[in-house]
């Protein structure tokens, strides 16, 4: 296992504590993770553990690309906000303004609803049948077709809150339509290239490749099994980006310095949504796969959860998909960020990142 650590600000003891948090979880022939901790605008710890895949046992390093899963949503939100700034979109623009053949309930759904998970769109995974598999994956336009074939929402837009992969697939389609570019091309042109995220890609099978790709794994019967793809792994706006900690450091810098959007333009993204009646939204009461805190208050902006942690301002988002666990935890007031990317499913990335934060915030 090749280990690389940056100690630009961290003391040896802090680096040892951070390393001891992650190192025991992997070995030289197991899937692993990449982690970076940033404080006061500088990388204070960065390390790779384990291997990208089990065929060559190639080491995970700082340029290894992991499927971000729902970590992608903050990039989809940023692309949408850039188009709003360019006056190609409006936050109050309605779904039926863009897709006139969408069912009547789309008249109540705005871009803002899609960004904040208050649209009420049905979950496309609930609408899928068994014709879609890991080798015959559902595509974005097929998601839209499923939504168009439904006559009613889960709830009236703005009246409730439910985490919606459907909403972010649709946002990706909208961004592509109004920009005149493929979604991946739009992100590369407007976000990845300007920030120097040279190895980050919106992956589309048969159209592009992922350099230094990590493959997802799960442990079954005590044995590691590659579980890299599922029937929903090809959708883009809700989870299609592959990236690495080197590039995500640049993303974190852009968030801190407002490189892409100024402070005023970012306010909407960093303001927790309220329901139409002004009330605080809550996670759905019924437990489910994407329901992290059933029945509890939820604080969500545009592609970011915004609930504080131990009284400290925080913006974060996790990603969970077959074979991968990812998380970014940003604490703007402390200028502290932890990013963790894993190509295995037996770890709690969120808790590990918060444990790393507990060590790092003492610096």
In this structure, the dihedral spanned by the alpha carbons of residues 1, 199, 194 and 84, taken in order and rounded to 10 degrees, is -110
Cα-Cα end-to-end distance for the chain: 27
Domain ranges of the chain: 12-360
What local confidence, expressed as pLDDT, does residue 9 receive?
Answer: 46
Beta bridge partners of 324: 321
User: What does DSSP assign to residue 85?
Assistant: H
350 φ/ψ angles, rounded to the nearest 5 degrees: -65, -50
Whole-angstrom distance, CA of residue 313 vs CA of residue 330: 9
What local confidence, expressed as pLDDT, does residue 292 receive?
Answer: 86
In this structure, the dihedral spanned by the alpha carbons of residues 306, 310, 311 and 312, taken in order and rounded to 10 degrees, is -60
What local confidence, expressed as pLDDT, does residue 291 receive?
Answer: 83
Task: Tell whether pTM > 0.85.
Answer: yes
What local confidence, expressed as pLDDT, does residue 11 receive?
Answer: 61
pLDDT along the chain (363 residues), means of 10: 46 80 95 96 95 97 98 98 98 98 97 98 96 97 98 96 97 98 98 98 96 97 95 97 98 97 95 97 86 92 97 97 97 97 97 96 78
- Average pLDDT of the chain, as a whole number: 94
Nearest to 229 by CA among 302, 310, 322: 322
Homologous superfamily of 12-360 in CATH?
DD-peptidase/beta-lactamase superfamily (3.40.710.10)
Whole-angstrom distance, CA of residue 263 vs CA of residue 79: 16
């Amino acid at each position: 296992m090749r280990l690389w650590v940056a100690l630009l600000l961290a003391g040896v003891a802090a680096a040892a504590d951070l390393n001891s948090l992650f190192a025991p979880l992997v070995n030289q022939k197991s899937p692993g993770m990449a982690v970076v901790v940033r404080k006061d605008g500088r990388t204070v710890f960065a390390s790779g553990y384990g291997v990208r895949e089990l065929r060559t046992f190639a080491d995970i390093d700082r340029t290894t690309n992991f499927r971000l899963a729902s970590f992608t949503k903050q990039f989809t939100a940023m692309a949408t906000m850039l188009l709003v700034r360019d006056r190609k979109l409006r936050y109050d623009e309605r779904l039926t303004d863009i897709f006139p053949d969408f069912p009547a309930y789309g008249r109540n759904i705005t871009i803002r609803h899609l960004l904040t998970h208050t649209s009420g769109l049905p979950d496309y995974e609930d609408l899928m049948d068994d014709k879609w598999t890991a080798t015959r994956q559902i595509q974005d336009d097929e998601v839209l077709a499923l939504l168009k074939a439904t006559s009613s929402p889960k709830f009236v837009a703005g009246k409730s809150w439910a985490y919606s992969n459907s909403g972010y697939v649709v946002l990706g389609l909208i961004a592509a339509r109004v920009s005149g570019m493929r979604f991946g091309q739009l992100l590369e042109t407007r976000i990845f290239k300007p920030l120097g995220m040279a190895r980050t890609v919106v992956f589309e099978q048969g159209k592009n490749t992922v350099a230094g790709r990590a493959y997802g794994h799960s442990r079954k019967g005590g044995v590691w099994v590659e579980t890299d793809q599922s029937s929903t792994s090809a959708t883009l706006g809700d989870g299609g980006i592959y990236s690495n900690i080197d590039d995500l450091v640049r993303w974190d810098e852009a968030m801190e310095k407002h490189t892409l959007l100024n402070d005023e333009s970012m306010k909407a993204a960093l303001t927790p949504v309220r329901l139409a009646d002004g009330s605080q939204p809550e996670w759905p009461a019924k437990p489910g796969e994407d329901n992290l805190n059933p029945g509890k208050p939820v604080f969500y902006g545009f592609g970011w959860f915004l609930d504080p942690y131990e009284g400290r301002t925080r913006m974060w988002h996790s990603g969970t998909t077959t074979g991968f666990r990812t998380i970014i935890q940003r604490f703007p007031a402390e200028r502290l960020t932890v990013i963790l990317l894993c190509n295995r499913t037996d770890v709690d990335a969120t808790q590990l990142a918060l444990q790393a934060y507990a060590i790092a915030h003492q610096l």
